[in-house]
Chain A
Amino acid sequence: MVNNKAGMTLIVKTITRLTVGLIMLFGIYIVFHGHLSPGGGFAGGVIVALSFVHLMLVFGKDFAMAKISRNLASNLESVGALMFLFVALLGFLGGSFFHNVIAKGKPFDLFSSGTIILSNISIGLKVGVGLFAIFLALVVLEMAKKE
């Protein structure tokens, strides 16, 4: 890999390269199907964060930082929060805060339930990136102390 010194042994790295994409895909699936099956923005966001944490634990700090830096994490979290607020404000079109304005569609479809899916995506973005930012801050602190 890029940096062979940091991180764990070869076996762990190989397995991680195979699985980390699947974990992240599963998290995104849970976010998108939050209105159909158990799950939703919170659980899916935490799974996405876990995939990044997995990457960082195995390959070391620098590799994960190359994928997503800390500034980007903070910015994305703010985007998630503002997007949720925007979905709430969108309800004013229909008359009140958090009013469900988009067409409901047929139940049991993927794009069925109006603003709920938008809210789910924004919550998932916010929770996932926020928790990853927490973990990143803790790890960076450890690194700074060793120097």
Chain B
Amino acid sequence: MSLYLLCFLLFCIGLYGVLRKRNIVKIIVGLGIMEYAMNLFFVLLGYRTHGRSPIEASNQQILNMVDPVPQALVLTSIVIGLAVTALFISIAIRIYEKYGTFDITKIKKLKG
């Protein structure tokens, strides 16, 4: 149970970073940490005590395997996370070119 709690704490750190920080790169970093926490939570849900990894061996029957479904979902989610991070970074670079800063409050001032 304490592992779940630590996972929630990691998510909270990411949430704090997204909401509190002014720098765009810090916000992207916070989003990445939230994504890691979500992936970890899914895999924690599927773990079974003294489990084996879900790959059959050639000569004996293995019982007591870990749940493969959350692992499959997380596997796609990791790659999507990379693509989405790259998209964020490109938008941030564009903003930096246009305004010359990563600070979101200054961008607001320049616009209005």
Residues of A within 8 A of B (CB): 37-38, 40, 42, 46, 107-108, 127, 130-131, 134, 137-138, 141, 145
Contact = CB atoms under 8 A, between A and B. Distances in A.
B58 interface: yes
A40 to B, nearest CB: 7
Interface of B: 53, 55-56, 58, 75-76, 78-79, 82-83, 86, 89-90, 93, 97
Contact of B79 (A46, A108, A141, A145): A46
A141 B75 contact: no
A137 to B, nearest CB: 7
B56 A145 contact: no
| Chain B interface, >50% SS class | helix
Contacts of B89: 138
A107 B83 CA distance: 34
Contacts of A108: 58
A83 to B, nearest CB: 17
Contacts of A138: 86, 89-90, 93
Contacts, number: 26
A88 to B, nearest CB: 16
| Chain A interface, >50% SS class | helix
A70 B89 CA distance: 20
B56 A107 contact: yes
B79 A137 contact: no
A42 B58 contact: no
Given A108-B58, A134-B86, 8 more contacts: A38-B53, A40-B75, A42-B75, A42-B78, A46-B82, A107-B56, A134-B83, A145-B97
Nearest to A142: B93
A119 B89 CA distance: 30
Contacts of B58: 108
Given A37-B55, A38-B55, A42-B75, A131 B82 contact: yes
